[in-house]
Amino acid sequence: MIGFLIGEAVRDLARAGRVAVAAVALIALSLGIVGAFWLLSTNLGAAVAQWREGVRVIAYLRDDPGPAAGRLVDRVRRLEGVGDARYVSKAEALNRLKGGLGARASVAETLPENPLPASIEVTPTSGVATPETMRGLVERLAAMPEVEDVHGGTAWIERASHWQRLLQIVGVGIGLLLGLAAVVTITTATTLALHARREEIEIMRLVGASEAVIRLPLLLQGVAQGLLGAGVAVLVLFGVHRVLQPLMEPLAALTFGLPHIAFLSGAAVAGLLAAGALLGGLGGLVAKGRA
Amino acid sequence: MIALHRVSKTFGAGPVKVTALSDVTFRMSKGEFAVVRGRSGAGKTTLLRLLYRDEVPTDGEVEVGAHDVTSLARSEIPELRRSIGVVFQDAKLLPGRTVYENVAFVLRVLGMPRREITQRAFSALKAVGLSTRAQAYPWQLSQGEAQRASLARAIAKQPAILLADEPTGNLDEDMAAEVFQVIADIWRGGTTVLLATHQLGVARKLGRRTLTLDAGRLVKDEG
């Protein structure tokens, strides 16, 4: 019986012809767009997570504390929200500058004296790098009498995070609109198959076929179109990712510090396929009601 | 086997009501052969449609086998119809399937195993004399062959009852005789047959019970 139901669904798909192809293409387009936004969002999310891990707050000191630096670092470590603290002397700061200048490091040699202040590099406690907690940490550091200025925060990371969420919303929004169009097209394709089958359905009812046997092929036809569309979307995304990955990775590493542009996870691919089956099933269900 | 008690059927509502059947009562035993005759519009088709629950009576009771057809739930209709084979004036063969596939389709729909489908389909085709035309498509058949294929499809599931609604309406005399012969053979095999026709000669030739309808009323029950 299962073989019969699947056979009828395949026969119906062939009958729907171009409309079925259009329905599969629309599903592929809608899920392809959702998948593309998902891919971008996932990678931006990975970059944001990496940036959060690397957040540092620099507390610039009024004077070089000299031998008292150790005690000052201990006091900073005891502050709320501080994961670790490290003292950077004036000399170390100058060496870092020279390192950063590279071949032009000799410019720093021409300075009459070291203009760079000593500082304490503060790593926030893991997982608390939100704008609110960072604001509190900056205020506590700024309140210390030895500290002249405090730099650092997560405002730009939060902006990136907002962009990530926006990408997700736009992707889901466009996907939903196209998904709706796909459901309508699948309903049309299935209804066409239904009209082509009306004589068969009449005979089936006449001989005592159950309603499940009559209607299930319509539902299966919708699910098949949805799955096919989702499969096409995943394959196209995979192909585009394979082609663009080597070209985009150096740029992503340079701009976002992201060394690897990942493809969608297995769960995400399964989600897209399930969404395709669901959209197709919905189209088949609407048509099924007309049987 | 079949029992109608004071059955009436009215179509439409208000001033445009049409009475198709009026106060019809009769019984048929298991294995009986009866011919329903009457002019066009006498109510023959409506009577048959009430039996396989394509219509519900306005008044009265209809029983088929163990089923009280009048009060049958929608979900119980398939079970009733599995016990009834129906043929029409138009053979209603599926054009994209061969004669064998048309017969096998019914059995597949009913969930029979493949081996049984093959066996039953060929047995039904043999019974109507179409074994050699199994791979022909409907458009390759004569009208008589098409009607016999339709009969094969109706009996392949081995129903207890065969309802035939003007099965020879589109056929010439020779072809009609062939079809009636097949129907008579099916009846001899133990199937209860109710045949609706407007051809009086047929009813006489078969020499069986004849129910005569006139304007929806059962005016004669002979034989």
- Residue B109 inside a domain? The answer is no
Task: For residue A15, give the chain B residue with the closest CA.
Answer: B96
- How close is the nearest chain B Cα to the Cα of A211, in Å? 8
A56-153 maps to CATH 2.40.100.10: no
Residue-by-residue pLDDT tens, chain B, 223 positions = 899 999 999 998 777 889 999 999 999 999 999 999 988 889 999 999 999 999 999 999 999 998 999 999 988 999 999 999 999 988 899 988 999 999 999 999 898 998 999 999 999 999 899 999 999 999 999 988 999 999 999 999 999 999 999 988 878 888 888 888 888 889 998 999 999 987 777 666 766 789 999 999 999 998 7
CB-based contact A205 B110, cutoff 8 Å: no
Per-residue pLDDT tens digits for A91-128? 888 888 888 777 777 777 777 888 889 999 988 886 65
Q: Is A2 on the interface with B (CB under 8 A)?
A: no
- Residue B133 inside a domain? The answer is no
Q: Is the pLDDT of residue A81 over 80?
A: yes
The pLDDT score that the predictor gives to residue A16 is 64
For residue B11 the two structure tokens come to 């179509």
Per-residue pLDDT tens digits for A171-217? 778 777 877 877 787 777 777 777 777 888 888 998 998 888 888 87
Chain B partners within 8 Å of A204 (Cβ): 109
Three-state DSSP string of chain A: CHHHHHHHHHHHHHHHCHHHHHHHHHHHHHHHHHHHHHHHHHHHHHHHHHHHHCCCEEEEECCCCHHHHHHHHHHHHCCCCEEEEEEECHHHHHHHHHHHHHHHCHHHHCCCCCCCCCEEEEEECCCCCCHHHHHHHHHHHHCCCCEEEEECCCHHHHHHHHHHHHHHHHHHHHHHHHHHHHHHHHHHHHHHHHHHCHHHHHHHHHHCCCHHHHHHHHHHHHHHHHHHHHHHHHHHHHHHHHHHHHHHHHHHHHHHCCCCCCCCCHHHHHHHHHHHHHHHHHHHHHHHCCC
Domain of B80: which CATH number? 3.40.50.300
Q: Is the pLDDT of residue A66 over 70?
A: yes
Q: Is B73 on the interface with A (CB under 8 A)?
A: no
Q: How far apart are CA A163 and CA B76, in angstroms?
A: 58
- Residue B49 inside a domain? The answer is yes
For residue A59 the two structure tokens come to 């507390």
Q: Is the pLDDT of residue A51 over 80?
A: no
Q: Is the pLDDT of residue A131 over 60?
A: yes
Per-residue pLDDT tens digits for A143-176? 998 899 888 766 666 676 777 778 778 777 877 7
The pLDDT score that the predictor gives to residue A128 is 58
The pLDDT score that the predictor gives to residue A127 is 61
Give the nearest partner residue to A206 out of B81, B83, B94, using CB atoms: B81
Q: How far apart are CA B24 and CA A223, in angstroms?
A: 49
Total of domains in chain B: 1
- How close is the nearest chain B Cα to the Cα of A204, in Å? 7
CB-based contact B111 A206, cutoff 8 Å: no
CB-based contact B78 A211, cutoff 8 Å: yes
CB-based contact A209 B52, cutoff 8 Å: no
Domain range holding B90?
A: 2-11+21-96+160-222
Q: Is the pLDDT of residue A4 over 90?
A: no
Q: Per mean pLDDT, which range of A19-28, A151-160, A253-262, B22-31 is the poorest?
A: A151-160
How many CB atoms are located within 10 Å of the residue A266 CB?
8
The pLDDT score that the predictor gives to residue B203 is 61
Q: Which residues, listed in sequence order, are joined to residue B38 by a DSSP beta bridge?
A: none
CB-based contact A203 B79, cutoff 8 Å: no
Give the nearest partner residue to B92 out of A203, A205, A209, using CB atoms: A203
How many CB atoms are located within 10 Å of the residue A13 CB?
23
- Residue B115 inside a domain? The answer is no
Place of tokens 């490091």: A105
The pLDDT score that the predictor gives to residue B141 is 93
Higher local confidence (pLDDT), B64 or A250? B64
Chain B partners within 8 Å of A199 (Cβ): 92, 94-95
- Residue B137 inside a domain? The answer is no
The pLDDT score that the predictor gives to residue A214 is 82
Q: Is A206 on the interface with B (CB under 8 A)?
A: yes
The pLDDT score that the predictor gives to residue A119 is 92
Question: How does the average pLDDT of chain A come out, rounded?
Answer: 81
CB-based contact A207 B94, cutoff 8 Å: no
Q: Is the pLDDT of residue A29 over 70?
A: yes
Q: Is the pLDDT of residue A15 over 60?
A: yes
Chain A partners within 8 Å of B78 (Cβ): 205, 208-211
ipTM above 0.90, yes or no: no
The pLDDT score that the predictor gives to residue A289 is 65
- Residue B173 inside a domain? The answer is yes
Q: Is A91 on the interface with B (CB under 8 A)?
A: no
Chain A partners within 8 Å of B52 (Cβ): 206
CB-based contact A208 B80, cutoff 8 Å: yes
CB-based contact B81 A213, cutoff 8 Å: no
